[in-house]
Amino acid sequence: MSKYIQFFDTTLRDGEQTIGVNFSIDEKVAIAKQLENWGVDVIEAGFPVASKGDFEAVTAVAKAVKHARVTGLARARKGDIDACVKATSMATHKQIHVFIATSPIHREDKLNMTKEQVIDAITYSVDYAHKFFDIVEFSPEDATRTEPDFLVESIQAAIDAGATVINIPDTVGYTNPQEFEKLFKNLRNNIPMFDQITFSVHCHDDLGMAVANSLEAIKAGATRIEGTINGIGERAGNAALEEVAAAMYVRKDYYHAENNIDMAETKKTSDMISHCSEMAVPHNKAVVGANAFAHESGIHQDGMLKNPQTYEILTPAVVGANKTSLPLGKLSGSHAVMQKLQTMGYQVTRDDMKVIFPRFKNIADNTSIVSESELKNIMREVNKVTA
């Protein structure tokens, strides 16, 4: 049976931690509305205690969003929680996201806290947050570098204090799918209420495995995926939610999971984030890159002309992108060149291509993409020769 996977978007919070990115309040509201159109379940609007601007942005998003659940981030501190309470007070649907680090290196070198002190902080902060929010999400920061038994102890303390969502952050992108599966197996075996709790994951991409780890978590028992649009975020960024959504769409047979994402709004959402963050999407970026539905290789172009499914497992229309393109370059074959000329209005046969194609190759070897004007020049030359 299919299970439902919630999408938790942190583009406005973790995404804004990208070097050089600073969304205005108006941009955050517009982005939040588009994320809602895309179908995300939870929008992490910011870190209210961090600054006056962040507090005002969370407040504005909380007022503007009508269907998605709005959350603010809070350290395991009373002041942080109070700021979240005030900032999200106008939200139609809300929750809070409380975190504290649990790994040895974070406990000892960053927090200067013992295990006992960390557990006390979890118990106090989650219990306090639960007085104001029905849904309290707790994150043991750097979970994937935390001792397995202490991770269980930390999570159990949060659940006992009232947490209904447990997020497992791979804070520094350290883990891999096999280890993530093992981590979830340990939690399932040692958390009595595992199936009554929403387990979430927040994966970073330092080793390029954020999406793979997130998808593995779905198989392992997670029912919420956290990430950002275009994968923006701290250091190497986060799991790109559009890639997670596309994988779930194409491989329904494998993940047996559903979500509320409107795939047709994907490209529009990606373009908005690219514009507001002033970060260009790499051309070879999966799902939303300019080359995601472009084919230059002659073998690929020939296959696409015969049956698009030979080389496209996802169509441009599904994600709201422009149609497939077959740019003509030095690797293109005569079939693609002939088809292009025909769409331009030329009556070209295979015999004609014996004259046309060598001229095309001479140009293609000295340029990246052969333009329509260059094709017209070729046809003028060929017509002169054959006239």
- Whether 387 shows a pLDDT value over 60: the answer reads no
Mean pLDDT of the chain, nearest integer: 95
CB atoms within 10 A of CB 271: 17
pLDDT digits (tens, 9 = 90+) for 146-170: 999 999 999 999 999 999 999 999 9
Query: Above 60 in pLDDT, residue 329?
Result: yes
Classify domain 293-387 at the CATH class level: few secondary structures
Report phi then psi at 320, rounded to 5. Answer: 75, 25
Selection from 133, 22, 118 nearest residue 75 by Cα: 118
Please say if the pLDDT value at position 232 is more than 90.
Answer: yes
Give the mean pLDDT of 224-233. 98
Give residue 270's pLDDT band: very low, low, confident or very high (50, 70, 90). very high
Residue of higher predicted confidence among 100 and 308: 100
DSSP state of 198: E
Question: What is the rounded average pLDDT of the residues 134-153?
Answer: 98
| Mean local confidence (pLDDT), 180-184 | 98
- pLDDT over 80 (residue 63): yes
Domain ranges across the chain: 3-277, 293-387
Average pLDDT over residues 86-98: 98
H or E stretch at 167: strand 165-170
Model-level pTM? 0.90
Tokens of 108: 């000892």
* CATH superfamily placement of domain 3-277: Aldolase class I (3.20.20.70)
